[in-house]
Amino acid sequence: MRTQVGIVGAGPAGLLLSHLLHLRGIESVVLEARGRDQIESTIRAGVLEQGTMDLLTETGVGARMRAEGAVHHGFELAFEGQRRRIDLTGLTGKSITVYAQHEVLKDLVAARLAANGALYFNVSGTSLHGVDTDTPSIRFTHDGEAQVLHCDFVIGCDGSQGVSRAAIPAALRNDYERVFPFGWFGILVEAPPSSDELIYARHERGFALVSTRSPNVQRMYFQCDPKDSADQWSDDRIWAELHARVDSSDGRHVVEGRIFQKNIVGMRSFVSATMQHGRLFLAGDAAHIVPPTGAKGLNLAVSDVRVLSRALDAFYKERRTDLLDAYSATALRRIWRAEHFSYWMTRMMHRLDDASPFEQRLQVAELEHVTTSRAAATAMAENYVGSVAV
């Protein structure tokens, strides 16, 4: 097999990159270890920045997002028994859309198949070869048959546990990581919305987040021990925890319903500051992980492939390599900004076991500042909606 760009991974980064390259007349093949049904049904949060919304619309894959996604013009910060609103649109002129990641994937898969794009699901034994030469290749097995895909470039979009990052020699990688000592207990609930917008709650018992998935399905999280088991939490215990952390003194409260999914996710920050090696380039979770507090994960993947698609277009149309050479440096400017914002939000909103009573009051003082100072609120809003562009 032969193509121009071989893409490992059919997550947001891989599928969107393939779509963007197709629009620029560049061929690609996408290889994915999971099945199509699995990637389209694995429910993951999706808060889309203004730039992500605009790109999906401009490239013809935003119709369902506009029809079914929930546009939010702000969010609420809950602390000390009260809620205060951050007016995203009033402060920045921009908004966000709550539209789950697996719905974005459905739209991108449909677009690639409609364009006769080469998507291979359920592949196994994937390995990268010759990435430090001008003739890289990808070996894999599909439908029981061993295959070799020859390409000009290999793009690793296969997440933190994939083969792509490991193909860069450890001696050449600069990896940075921060593992947090807490996790998020997540539930999906059959219930009407508890609020018109997202609620980020800081409480002495720990963080909580209330988000909307649809008019009848809500997503809620609360800070927990990452080693805990979801089976140990009864529905009554879950609701008691959410009420304690989110309900406000003016009578507004979390709306209960039937819980039909429970899971616990760990929290970490990670950056591979070496996002390219020869003809191999990393994008999305293969290169970086952010805690979900700042709602940046999917949006960073979109930012990466926007930069990369422009660089590949310059190579094929003008034989320029300067944009490809600068890919890591260009992408990392946005990545480190988002990492800092997510880390700041996480530190401000979560219960920190090593924090003294003095430091806990500093958290409250900071929340008071960002909800009463227009300058501080604007800085938060600009980071949240993605005003920091590359």
CATH number, position 40: 3.50.50.60
pLDDT tens readout for residues 340-385? 999 999 999 999 988 999 999 999 999 999 999 999 999 999 999 9
The boundaries of the domain holding residue 140 are: 5-71+96-176+269-344
In this structure, are 261 and 340 located in the same domain?
no
Do 225 and 274 lie in one domain? The reply is: no
Catalytic annotation present for 150: no
Based on the domain organization, do 242 and 369 belong to the same domain? yes
Q: How far apart are CA 74 and CA 170, in angstroms?
A: 42
- In the predicted structure, residue 277 carries a pLDDT above the cut 60: yes
Q: What percent of the chain has pLDDT over 70?
A: 99
Residue 79: inside a domain? no
Task: Say if residue 55 is in the same domain as residue 65.
Answer: yes
Q: Verify whether residue 215 is a known catalytic residue.
A: no
CB distance 305 to 22 below 8 Å: no
Same structural domain, 114 and 144: yes
Task: Give me the helices (H) in the chain, please.
Answer: 12-23, 36-41, 50-58, 63-68, 88-92, 101-114, 235-246, 297-318, 322-325, 327-349, 357-372, 374-385
323 and 365, same structural domain? no
For the chain, what is the mean pLDDT? 95
> What pairs with residue 191 in β-bridges?
none
The yes-or-no verdict on residue 61 having pLDDT over 50 is yes
| pLDDT confidence band for 388 (50 / 70 / 90) | low
Mean pLDDT of 27-40: 95
CA distances from 12 to 52, 117, 218, 386 (A): 11, 15, 22, 17
Kindly state whether residues 232 and 276 are assigned to the same domain: no
Over residues 104-125, the mean pLDDT reads 97
Burial class (CB in 10 A: 0-12, 13-18, 19+), 9: buried
Same domain? For 213 and 318 the reply is no
Residue type, 72: H
Backbone angles phi, psi at 349, to 5 degrees: -100, -20
In a domain, residue 82? The reply is no
Calculate mean pLDDT across residues 31-58.
92
Position 85 in a domain: no
- 296 among known catalytic residues: yes
- One-letter amino acid for residue 15 of the chain: L
Beta-carbon contacts of residue 317 (< 8 Å; ≥ 6 apart): none
Number of domains the chain is built from: 2
Residue 215, pLDDT score? 82
Q: What is the pLDDT of residues 135-147, one digit of tens each?
A: 999 999 999 999 9
| Within-domain flag for 83 | no
Q: Is residue 22 part of a domain?
A: yes
Average pLDDT of the residues in 153-159: 97
- Which residue among 19, 22, 72, 106 is the active-site one? 72
292 among known catalytic residues? yes
Instruction: Give 7-16 pLDDT, tens digit per residue.
Output: 999 999 999 9
Which of 94, 288, 296, 350 does the annotation list as catalytic? 296
pLDDT at 46 over 90: no
For residues 25 and 108, state if they share a domain.
Answer: yes
* 80 assigned to some structural domain: no
> Which ranges constitute the DSSP H helices of 42-87?
50-58, 63-68
Given 94, 203, 292, 327, the catalytic residue: 292
Domain containing 244 — which CATH number? Answer: 3.30.9.10
pLDDT value at position 390?
Answer: 45
Please tell me the distance from the alpha carbon of residue 138 to that of residue 129, in angstroms, as a whole number. 6
**Percentage of the chain surpassing pLDDT 90?**
93
**Alpha carbon distance 302, 97 (integer Å):** 15
Residue 94 falls in the annotated catalytic set = no
Answer yes or no: do 43 and 157 share one domain: yes
Q: Is residue 162 one of the residues assigned to a domain? A: yes
- 212 & 247 share domain: yes
Cα distance between residue 87 and residue 95, in whole Å: 9
* Segment 299-317, tens digit of pLDDT: 999 999 999 999 999 999 9
- In which residue are the tokens 């970490």 written? 268
Closest among 280, 267, 296 to 385, alpha carbons compared: 296
Same-domain check for residues 31 and 116: yes
What is the model's pLDDT at position 14?
98
Indicate whether 76 belongs to any domain. no
Q: Whose CA is closest to 160, among 52, 5, 311, 266?
A: 266
| pLDDT of 117 | 96
Does the pLDDT value for residue 115 go beyond 50?
A: yes
Given its phi and psi angles, is residue 195 left (phi above 0), alpha (psi -120 to 50 degrees) or beta?
A: beta
Catalytic residue from among 99, 200, 221, 327:
200
